[in-house]
Amino acid sequence: MDMRADSDRMQAMHGTSDLDAGPLLVQQRAENAGGPVPRVALAHLDELWFQVSGTLCNLECTHCFISCSPRNDSFGYLTLAEVERSLEESVRHGVKEYYFTGGEPFLNRDIMPILEKTLEYGPATVLTNGTVLKPEWLERLRAAEDRSLYSLEFRVSIDGPTPETNDPIRGPRTFERAMKGVELLSSFGFLPIITMTRTWPDEHDAEVLEKFRKVLADHGCDRPRLKVLPRLKIGAEQQRTCGYSETERVTQQMMADYDESQLICSHSRVVTSNGIYVCPILLEEPDARMGETLEESTGPYPLRHGACFTCYLYGAICTNPSSSKRE
């Protein structure tokens, strides 16, 4: 596989001419359009997310869109039994792949058996900050993936190629600790996807990515996979900079000829300790709770939030760009 090509695809925007038009033009359309709030149907439940560590995290990033921290327990850990029930239910809905997020997933003491069990059902991706990984865990997960028909992916969040870029956002020495996690993953044969939230001007993307490739190569990751994410102006990020304006909303007119498959709410749901939510971004919105079971969560969802506007602009910001299933 050409990892450089994979990296370039991951950086690209997805979608229609609305995306190509750029945020400014789309915002002007939002200002002028008005009309009812559009609703997006669940076309097919392709991905199932697990908020496996709730909102508990060992870090307290200043741009976290759900304000995760060591003290935020508004969502709790999922148990192995709870995940197993959802995995069984997911088979009836034709789920193709599974994602594990938090908080920090590796804080959950059940994460190892959870991932081992999931690999019996389909490909799995873990979103981690990479700072708490242990060799014995990765040795066990390496063996689990080798036994499975499916792949295990890791997405490691590092917000820039230097401590000077990353640490003011994620905390002192987090760059150093996360890069040790990347080294560890690479030593066990995993190819982590490095995700970074864009906190620099758009025109600096190429420079940042090239510098990151060199840094990763120095840490044993010579086939880097890079994914740049837009800022979501909710949670801690709203306090750090600003929230969404009233004009930053998706309107009915904007949805004309738009590819709804670019929106995560059209093909996934999230299992949490508090029920099923529409997407991993809107956990702090009460109306994002869709029910207690996957069966109850299959209705359409209104795109009334500012974060929906970001998803509209950039598309597919949460999921991996291609299937994790082995060739």
For 166-225, the pLDDT digits (tens) are 999 999 999 999 999 999 999 999 999 999 999 888 899 999 999 999 999 999 888 889
Any idea what DSSP says for residue 161? S
The per-residue pLDDT for range 264-285, each reduced to its tens digit, is 999 999 999 999 999 999 999 9
Could you tell me if 298 and 308 are in contact, meaning their C-beta atoms sit under 8 angstroms apart? no
CATH ID of 44-319, from 1.10.10.410, 3.30.2020.30, 3.20.20.70, 1.20.1090.10:
3.20.20.70
Is residue 98 packed enough to be buried (19+ CB in 10 Å), middle (13-18) or exposed (0-12)? Answer: buried
Any idea what DSSP says for residue 173? T
3-class DSSP assignment, residue 195? strand
> What is the pLDDT, as a whole number, of residue 62?
92
| pLDDT over threshold 70, residue 293 | yes
| pLDDT over threshold 50, residue 323 | no
Q: Report d(CA 54, CA 76) in Å as an integer.
A: 4
The per-residue pLDDT for range 222-236, each reduced to its tens digit, is 888 999 999 999 998
Q: Report d(CA 314, CA 231) in Å as an integer.
A: 11
What confidence category does residue 321 fall into, taking pLDDT thresholds of 50, 70 and 90?
low
Q: What is the mean pLDDT of the chain?
A: 88
> What is the pLDDT, as a whole number, of residue 12?
39
Average pLDDT over residues 250-275: 96
Q: Which of 60-69, 156-165, 318-327 has the lowest mean pLDDT?
A: 318-327
> What value does the CA radius of gyration of the chain take, rounded to a whole number of Å?
19
Q: Report d(CA 218, CA 239) in Å as an integer.
A: 35
The number of C-alpha atoms within 13 Å of 65 and in the hemisphere containing its C-beta is 21
> What is the pLDDT, as a whole number, of residue 29?
46
> What is the pLDDT, as a whole number, of residue 322?
52
The per-residue pLDDT for range 89-126, each reduced to its tens digit, is 999 999 999 999 999 999 999 999 999 999 999 999 99
Every domain of the chain and the residues it spans:
44-319
Q: Which of 6-20, 141-155, 283-297 has the lowest mean pLDDT?
A: 6-20
> What is the pLDDT, as a whole number, of residue 316?
79
In this predicted model, which residue has the larger pLDDT, 52 or 16? 52
